[in-house]
Amino acid sequence: MTLEAKRAIVGALGFLFVGSLVAVTIVDASKHRETTGPRPPVIPADSKGCVDCHSRVTPLQFAQWSASKHGEQGIACLSCHGAKPEDPDGFMHHEARISALVTPKDCGGCHAAEAKGFAQSAHGQPKPGLEIHLVAGRPDPKTWPLPLVGRRNPDGSAGSCTTCHGRHRFELADARQPTVCMTCHLSDGSAEAWQRSPHGGFFLTSSSLETAKGPSCTVCHMASRTGAPTHDVSARVSWAMRDGKLAQRADADARRDAMTSTCLLCHGGPLVEAAFDRIDDTFNAGVPSVTPPPTAPYLKSPAAWPHLSPGDRYELAKMQGRLPNEPRSSAQP
């Protein structure tokens, strides 16, 4: 082969190589990448006026929404806060009729299955005396914000999704954190019982939900192996406190079965059965008569919660106001 021919081959190959680099660049440009910087939210026309003002007046609220899934998908201010003329909690705010209250009924417009499950649960039941009063369509500040669970909303729904999901950011991972459940359940003893059990102990050794070695509250009470998770957090709870007394709920067997099938994902049948028998025996024995009455009687029973040390039970009792706040060494059992 002559030198000229070789040079021609090198030239042609060089040309081909440059061509292949062009193909690489085209493929690279077509690849969808997650942006690492802040992603601008999608602002629909009807909410533009709200955003213009609230990004200055309540900038952190706006920042939370901007970073949320709602912000990403253009579910904006009026999607949740917009009020129909017949809504009792609506009022005019600049040019829009809005409602300050976003109730489970409002969320259920998109999240129907979740709202339905929530309405069936203890979280979704109204309690007497927790009604929100309206003054010219606006919630009366004296009755709002009320404790969110048990609240009776003007539209007939009860409770609020934001109790667990927070407002404007709506991060799913937040709602899965036991610390969110603890905002209410720290006082009834169930959060402490979990925290001091192997479930809580091993969960708390992990730094994130993804690497957790023990289950959090939502794993046993909400998650499902085969289908969508339930928002009826009571569906697997067979005992409840009614008027200061422990009582079995309606459909207790079905609820127990539902929880048992969840337990069986990790534990053997005989162990699960024995644990529930022990708990039933303890609860059937009734609330011990002490003054003031304990809010979580089962915490006093080592048989039901063998993982609680006497010291832990003492601390819990103190936390619940059942013991005077005195030095531990003199009063510790």
Partner 1 sequence: MGRVGSWLKERVPVSPEAIKAAGNEPVAGHLKLWWFALGGTAAMLFFGQIITGLLLCVYYQPTPERAWESVRYITGQVPYGWWIRSLHKWGANLMIVAVSLHLMRVFFSGAYRRPREVNWFIGVTLFLLTLVLGFTGYSIVYEQLSYWGATVAANITESVPVIGKGLARTLRGGEQIGAPTLSRFFILHAAVLPMLLLTLFAGHIALVRLHGVSEFPLKGQPHPAPYPFFPDHLLKELATGLALITVVTCLSVLFPVSVGPPADPINTPEHIKPEWYFYFTFRWLKLSSLGMGILGVTVAVGLLFAWPLIDAAIRRRRPNSELSIAFGAAAVIVFVVFTVWEALS
Q: By C-beta, is 211 or 289 nearer to partner 1?
A: 211
Q: Which stretch binds partner 1 (CB under 8 A): 5-13, 59-67, 192-200, 265-273?
A: 5-13
Two structure tokens written together for 35: 């942006």
**Min dist. Cβ of residue 25 to partner 1 (A):** 8
Instruction: Kindly identify the residues of this chain, within the stretch 248-307, that bind partner 1 according to CB under 8 A.
Output: none
Q: By C-beta, is 6 or 267 nearer to partner 1?
A: 6
Closest to 255 (Cα-Cα) out of 245, 244, 243, 263:
263
Q: By C-beta, is 205 or 332 nearer to partner 1?
A: 205
User: Who contacts 279 (Cβ-Cβ below 8 Å, separation ≥6)?
Assistant: 239, 298, 304
**Burial degree of 238 (CB within 10 A; 0-12, 13-18, 19+):** buried
Q: Which stretch binds partner 1 (CB under 8 A): 3-11, 126-134, 150-158, 213-221?
A: 3-11
Q: By C-beta, is 3 or 45 nearer to partner 1?
A: 3
Q: Which stretch binds partner 1 (CB under 8 A): 6-14, 157-165, 238-246, 257-265?
A: 6-14
Q: By C-beta, is 31 or 94 nearer to partner 1?
A: 31
Tell me the DSSP string of 145-205. SPPSTTPBPTTS-BS-THHHH-SSS--HHHHTSHHHHHHHHTSSSHHHHHHTSHHHHHHHH
Helical (H) or strand (E) element with 104: helix 104-108
CA distance 210 to 225: 16
DSSP state, 42?
Answer: P
Two structure tokens written together for 84: 């129909």
Pairing status of strand 239-242 against strand 138-139: unpaired
Binding mask 195-224 for partner 1 (x = CB under 8 A): ------------------------------
CA distance 149 to 160: 6
Instruction: Kindly identify the residues of this chain, within the stretch 8-47, that bind partner 1 according to CB under 8 A.
Output: 9-10, 13-14, 16-17, 20-21, 23-24, 27-28, 31, 33-34
Q: By C-beta, is 23 or 136 nearer to partner 1?
A: 23
Q: Tell the residue number behind the tokens 């899934």, with chain if given.
A: 69
**Min dist. Cβ of residue 100 to partner 1 (A):** 41
Binding stretches for partner 1 (CB under 8 A): 1, 3, 6-7, 9-10, 13-14, 16-17, 20-21, 23-24, 27-28, 31, 33-34
